[in-house]
Amino acid sequence: MNVLFLSQILPYPLDAGPKTRAYYVLRYLAQGHHVTLLSFVRETDRPSALDHLRTFCDTVYTVPMRRSRLKDIQYLAQSLGANTPFLIARDTVPEMAERVRQLMGSGEFDAVHADQLWMAPYALLARDAAPSQRRPYLVLDQHNAVFQIPRRLANDEGNPFKRRVLEMEARKLLRYEGEVCDRFDHVAWVTREDRAALPAVSSPSTIIPICVDPEAQLPLPRRADAHRVTFLGGLHWPPNAEGMAWFAREVWPHVQAQAPEAVLTVIGKNPPQALLDLSGPQIEVTGYVDDPRPYLAETAAFIVPLHAGGGMRVKILDAWLWGLPLVTTTIGAEGIRVRDGYNALVADTAQGLADAVARLLRDGSLAQSIASAGRATVEAEYDWRAVYRAWQAIYADERLEGERVARQSASPQVREAYT
């Protein structure tokens, strides 16, 4: 089939969770279908990434995404008096809409795949722009129950105005997500928790977790004197930024009291000022790094101290791939096969997290046991080559397959009627 794959981010290199999800789904679909990728790109995206994606996509089209703080403020002000959520309104780009119309006007696409809620409006536009006799099959990949993110951030927000804004955004997103999901022919959810958070959605649904490639990443050798407590993730994402600022303020002093030699290392682009202000000899904030392996080789505990978010934290799968001992919160582990004491240590209080980290710093055998069990879990449960066969069932929808077969087997006159 001919599939138009719409992505809010260029899905390569694999330096963020949403990229990992989109990349391996794209890889899987391209094995059995003709896939055209249409993606937003940022200034930091490199031509080499496009070259790589073209090795398995039939065609790759891009549209620039230009954000700014001023534009975000304008969209936020507009959204306060409107029904459209801010997170959706700010990604309304006329150039993307026009490109979708151009591509769909050809009538060649059997299906449109929207990666994340942000691309859902463009998928719905694609259906409207298609010739009437070629209504495309619409699939939405819901990486998160997005409304959960501002709702959980609001729970920990001390500023009354910011809390009200977050609560308002959560209410708008809850309504918007439900309405939009029901306009798709099929919705793929990353976790059961996200599916359960939107019980009113009636579209056919499948739960397919985010997966990675264990064959491409062997466990990293760790130094015997590993002393780092490491976080790796985009700090432009509020749940990451707030979780790490809280860890540095509230948890790290308790860790230092038990392990004075330890160093907290925070890796990720756009660290907030609140985190930078805490940096010092034992709190290292690196920003984005191209190759984190030197830091990971010195890591005694990999941390995911989140109190907000949705979907799956791909950084947990990455930690398991790398063979690193993991400490996480309950929300950090949500939707993932984490077992406390087996493949991770799980705690939610400042003292509990500090004690878990200190145990790994002191007990090398425990750290190795946790790391080995994590690697075994990711190999058994999150290998894209095995798990993503579930996508084939979605794209084997009887109505869609029937139309495809009819077009291929019909006479030229009948095929013309389809196109």
Q: What is the pLDDT of residues 66-113, one digit of tens each?
A: 888 888 888 787 777 788 899 998 999 999 999 999 999 988 999 999
For 286-298, the pLDDT digits (tens) are 999 989 999 999 9
Q: Of all helices (H) and strands (E), which one includes residue 62?
A: strand 59-64
Residue 40 has pLDDT above 90, yes or no: yes
* β-bridge mates for residue 114, sequence order: 6, 140
For 391-406, the pLDDT digits (tens) are 999 998 645 544 544 4
Give CATH for domain 2-208+389-418: 3.40.50.2000
For 112-170, the pLDDT digits (tens) are 999 999 999 999 999 999 998 889 999 999 999 999 999 988 988 889 999 999 999 99
Per-residue model confidence (pLDDT) at position 410: 35
**Euclidean distance between CA atoms 233 and 179, whole angstroms:** 31
**Euclidean distance between CA atoms 98 and 92, whole angstroms:** 11
Q: How many beta carbons lie within 10 A of that of residue 75, not counting itself?
A: 20
| Domain 215-381 part of CATH 3.40.50.2000 | yes
For 303-351, the pLDDT digits (tens) are 999 988 777 899 999 999 999 999 999 999 999 999 999 999 999 999 9
Per CATH, 2-208+389-418 and 215-381 having the same topology is answered yes
305 token code pair: 């101290």
Which residues make Cβ contacts (< 8 Å) with residue 43, sequence separation at least 6? none
Cβ pair 183, 131 in contact under 8 A: no
Residue 302 has pLDDT above 60, yes or no: yes
**Euclidean distance between CA atoms 177 and 197, whole angstroms:** 11
Per-residue model confidence (pLDDT) at position 397: 61
Residue 184 has pLDDT above 90, yes or no: yes
Mean pLDDT (the chain, rounded): 91
Closest by CA to 204, choosing from 33, 35, 390, is 390
Per-residue model confidence (pLDDT) at position 236: 87
Q: Where do the domains of the chain lie? A: 2-208+389-418, 215-381
